[in-house]
Amino acid sequence: MSRHDNTAPGRLRRAAFFVLPVLAFGLGSLLSTFYYWNHVREMKLDPLRRENDQLNQKIQNLQRQQSKTEAVFPYASIMEENFGASVKMPDKQLKTHLNSIIIRNREVHAPTRDELLKSLYGIGPQAVSFYDGFAFPYDQAVRYPTSKYVSNFVRDHQNVFDLIESLMLPKEDDIRFIVEAGSFVGSSANVWVKFARRHNATLLCIDTWEGDVNMWVLPQFKQPMSITYGRGHLYDNFIQNIIDGNSTDVVLPMAVSSLVGAKILWAQKFSPDVVYIDTAHEQGETLGELFAYWEILRPGGVLIGDDYDYFPAVKHDVDEFVAYKNLHLSFTKSGKTFAIKKPRSNS
Ligand X SMILES: *[C@@H]1O[C@H](CO)[C@@H](O)[C@H](O)[C@H]1NC(C)=O
3-class DSSP state of 178: strand
Q: 146 or 226, CB closer to ligand X?
A: 146
Tell the smallest beta-carbon distance from residue 213 to ligand X (Å): 31
Helix 187-199 to helix 234-244 angle, to the nearest 10 degrees?
40
Tell the smallest beta-carbon distance from residue 200 to ligand X (Å): 4
Q: Judge contact between 297 and 178, C-beta under 8 A.
A: no
Distance (Å, rounded) from C-alpha 343 to C-alpha 291? 15
DSSP label at 345? S
What would the x/- binding string for ligand X be over residues 192 to 231, using CB under 6 A? -------xx-------------------------------
For strands 329-331 and 338-341, give the pairing: antiparallel
Q: 100 or 200, CB closer to ligand X?
A: 200
Q: 51 or 249, CB closer to ligand X?
A: 249
Tell the smallest beta-carbon distance from residue 170 to ligand X (Å): 10
Q: 132 or 139, CB closer to ligand X?
A: 132
Distances (CA, A) of 145 to 148, 190, 222, 236, 242: 6, 11, 14, 11, 10
Tell the smallest beta-carbon distance from residue 301 to ligand X (Å): 16
Query: Is 158 near ligand X (CB under 6 A)?
Result: no
Query: Is 336 near ligand X (CB under 6 A)?
Result: no
Query: What order of strands is seen across the sheet that includes strand 302-305?
Result: 251-254, 202-206, 177-181, 274-277, 302-305, 338-341, 329-331
Query: Is 129 near ligand X (CB under 6 A)?
Result: no
Query: Cα angle vertex 103, ends 287, 89, to 5°?
Result: 35
Burial (Cβ within 10 Å: 0-12, 13-18, ≥19) of residue 171 = exposed
Q: 66 or 246, CB closer to ligand X?
A: 246
Q: 186 or 224, CB closer to ligand X?
A: 186
Tell the smallest beta-carbon distance from residue 296 to ligand X (Å): 22
Q: How many residues bind ligand X (CB under 6 A)?
A: 4
Q: According to CB under 6 A, which one of 84, 186, 224, 245 is a site residue for ligand X? A: 245
Interface positions with ligand X (CB under 6 A): 199-200, 245-246
